[in-house]
Chain A
Amino acid sequence: MSRIFATAASEARIALRNRWVAIAVAMMALFALVLSAAGSGPSGTLGFDRLSVTVASLTSLAVYLVPLMALLMSFDAVAGEVERGTLALALTYPGSRASLLAGKFVAHLGILALAVAVGYGIAALAALAFEARAVAGLAALWRLYWTSLLLGATFLGAGYAVSAWARRPGAAAGMVIGLWLAAVVLYDLGLLAAVVADGGGTFTRHVFPWLVMGNPADAFRLFNLAASGATSAAAGVAGAAGFVPPLQALAWLLLWPFAAFALAIAAFRKVTP
């Protein structure tokens, strides 16, 4: 346990020095501000409180931004140490490979938690400042917060797996961008096209729910939009959210981080320094 914290402390310090913390926090804060401003217009006519509308926009944002930040923080974790030659050294110290990865995970997830908290906090303050009944949206915002961390944790694990698999930081960087594009952008577009073409047929009712659960980003999107009742404010695959029970989406969302981390450890075990 003390080894995990030692690694986490060093990794957090490195992220702070590399300005990763500042970049992540600034990025989340900026996007939250923009969305709060954009969401302030039509809220009165829709009947939703201002914050609930912002949460719907934040969900669409987080599904892109949180995995991206997680992957950018994690791609160097193993490949960078291989390149610097410090991995061979680290592995001659007492302690398991899993604990080394766990230390990095704790630090990176902490940074993600801070950045997302700042961003969502700004959105909440902006909404509450204009409208007292926005308090009604706080539950949805809190739900968005911890599911964002689950999503981030999943992509951190995926990033470590890619990093261990690629062995070189350059290759790992390219591969995480590819992973991000495929998992967050293309997968969703493909599903949307299939659902539209199917028009509520067998595919939508039986295959689609499994395909949604097969991707943590979609599970995250569906759970938050379905649970907040703001589905009507969102477009895309979320329109078909009625076919997937929110609890099932949540179960998968909880499962994914463990699966991703297990994958990362399996990939890391194969690395010979």
Chain B
Amino acid sequence: MQSLILSHVTKAFGATRALSDVAFAVAPGERVALLGHNGAGKSTLMKIVLGLIGADAGEITVLGAAPGSHAARSATAYLPENVAFHPALTGQEQIRHYLRLRGQDPAQALPLLERVGLADAARRRIGTYSKGMRQRVGLAQALIGRPRLLVLDEPTSGLDPVSRRSFWGILDGLAADGAAILLSSHALTEVEARTDRIVILSHGAMVANDTLAALRRRAALPTHLQITARPGAADEVAAALAGHRLNGVRVDLSCAPGDKLARLGQIAALGPLVEDLELIPPSLDDIYRHFCTEAGS
């Protein structure tokens, strides 16, 4: 039983195609990252999942119900991008308000704010909060009532490194508890480490939907090898490996995924000429760029 199922979802705004034929699913306990450049259709997709806007074609099932239905809304939490709560209310009052709207005990407001690290500022007006603090108010409201599906639009934007770490910690806990998580982000490095699967949108079309390891295999991008030669031996090493000498001691190589071991063997054979070796697999950045340009051409 999947928490979220999208099949053949299509949406156009006038002549612009926002989404075309998008299909994927999110299982309970799974964290799926939605990637794509600005205007790729991420926010539109999220709004369709939440039932805020309707799709032109395709089917969407949210926790076994229609998007925007009472059943779907009761168990779905949303964190919009750049949300600005009313500056006149305090963080605690705002969360109490959202608790009441969900039919929960307003007394949970303080524990929720504590969970996102805002306990000290709970009684201050949101107008005095920094961007990261406002983002954490948004996160606190998304945690109300043990949601089964979380839709988070750029949840880590504006957060400092410490809050980011605690945010991902909270998310891990939710996923372990069986909540399905769909989030969008531009911070590719943290997505790489903290999500189970990646969906890439490009101009409204889904160009990838897989685990990072599988995407890496499919893209077959070269692995970079950075070799630090012994002083004075850089030219010799570069010649032996047919590589590219970068400076006095460093030689850079890139090799196809299949040649990796053979290349390592060659390097090992050079023995004392090599001082150090760094192996850099293609990053999510590279993979992301690969799938986006592939779709564009």
Please tell me if the beta carbons of A18 and B88 are within 8 angstroms of each other in the complex: yes
With contacts defined as CB atoms under 8 Å apart, how many contacts are there between chain A and chain B in the complex? 75
Q: Which residues does chain B contribute within 8 Å of A91, judged by CB atoms? A: 52
Please tell me if the beta carbons of A85 and B83 are within 8 angstroms of each other in the complex: yes
Interchain CA distance A89-B138 in the complex, whole Å: 9
Contact bitstring B66-88, A, C-beta under 8 A = 1, else 0: 00001001101110111111101
Q: Which residues does chain A contribute within 8 Å of B138, judged by CB atoms? A: 89
Question: Of A6, A85, A92, which is within 8 A of B97 by CB?
Answer: A6
Q: How far is the CB of B149 from chain A (nearest CB, A)?
A: 11
Q: Which residues does chain B contribute within 8 Å of A92, judged by CB atoms? A: 50-52, 73, 76-78
B98 interface residue (CB < 8 Å to A): yes
Interchain CA distance A13-B94 in the complex, whole Å: 11
Q: How far is the CB of B279 from chain A (nearest CB, A)?
A: 44
Please tell me if the beta carbons of B101 and A14 are within 8 angstroms of each other in the complex: no
Give residues of chain B (21-67) contacting chain A, Cβ–Cβ below 8 Å: 47, 50-53
Q: Which residues does chain A contribute within 8 Å of B94, judged by CB atoms? A: 10
Interchain CA distance A84-B127 in the complex, whole Å: 12
- Residue in A2, A9, A92 with the greatest tally of chain B CB atoms within 10 Å: A92
Please tell me if the beta carbons of B73 and A14 are within 8 angstroms of each other in the complex: no
Give residues of chain A (73-93) contacting chain B, Cβ–Cβ below 8 Å: 84-86, 88-93
Question: Of A9, A10, A85, A273, which is within 8 A of B84 by CB?
Answer: A85
Please tell me if the beta carbons of B101 and A95 are within 8 angstroms of each other in the complex: yes
* Chain B residue nearest in CB terms to A81: B86
Interchain CA distance A9-B99 in the complex, whole Å: 13
Question: Of A3, A14, A88, A94, which is within 8 A of B86 by CB?
Answer: A14
Please tell me if the beta carbons of A17 and B89 are within 8 angstroms of each other in the complex: yes
Please tell me if the beta carbons of B97 and A89 are within 8 angstroms of each other in the complex: no
A45 interface residue (CB < 8 Å to B): no
Q: Which residues does chain B contribute within 8 Å of A202, judged by CB atoms? A: none
- In this complex, how many residues of chain A approach chain B with their Cβ under 8 Å: the count is 24
B17 interface residue (CB < 8 Å to A): no
Q: How far is the CB of B138 from chain A (nearest CB, A)?
A: 8
Give residues of chain B (102-117) contacting chain A, Cβ–Cβ below 8 Å: 102-103
- Residue in B84, B100, B125, B138 with the greatest tally of chain A CB atoms within 10 Å: B100
Interchain CA distance A14-B88 in the complex, whole Å: 6
Contact bitstring A1-30, B, C-beta under 8 A = 1, else 0: 011011101100110011000000000000
Interchain CA distance A263-B35 in the complex, whole Å: 40
B93 interface residue (CB < 8 Å to A): yes
Please tell me if the beta carbons of B93 and A13 are within 8 angstroms of each other in the complex: yes
Interchain CA distance A6-B105 in the complex, whole Å: 12
Please tell me if the beta carbons of B100 and A3 are within 8 angstroms of each other in the complex: yes
Please tell me if the beta carbons of A84 and B70 are within 8 angstroms of each other in the complex: no
Please tell me if the beta carbons of B84 and A86 are within 8 angstroms of each other in the complex: yes
Contact bitstring A153-194, B, C-beta under 8 A = 1, else 0: 000000000000000000000000000000000000000000
Complex A-B: 30 CB contacts under 8 Å? A2-B100, A2-B103, A3-B100, A3-B101, A5-B100, A6-B100, A7-B101, A9-B100, A13-B93, A14-B89, A84-B83, A85-B80, A85-B82, A85-B84, A86-B84, A86-B85, A88-B47, A88-B50, A89-B78, A89-B83, A89-B138, A89-B141, A91-B52, A92-B50, A92-B76, A93-B98, A94-B101, A94-B103, A95-B101, A272-B53
Interface residues of B (CB under 8 A from A): 47, 50-53, 70, 73-74, 76-78, 80-86, 88-89, 93-94, 97-98, 100-103, 125, 138, 141
Known A6-B97, A93-B73, A94-B73; further 12 A-B contacts with Cβ < 8 A: A3-B100, A9-B97, A9-B100, A13-B88, A13-B93, A14-B86, A18-B88, A84-B85, A85-B81, A86-B83, A88-B80, A272-B53
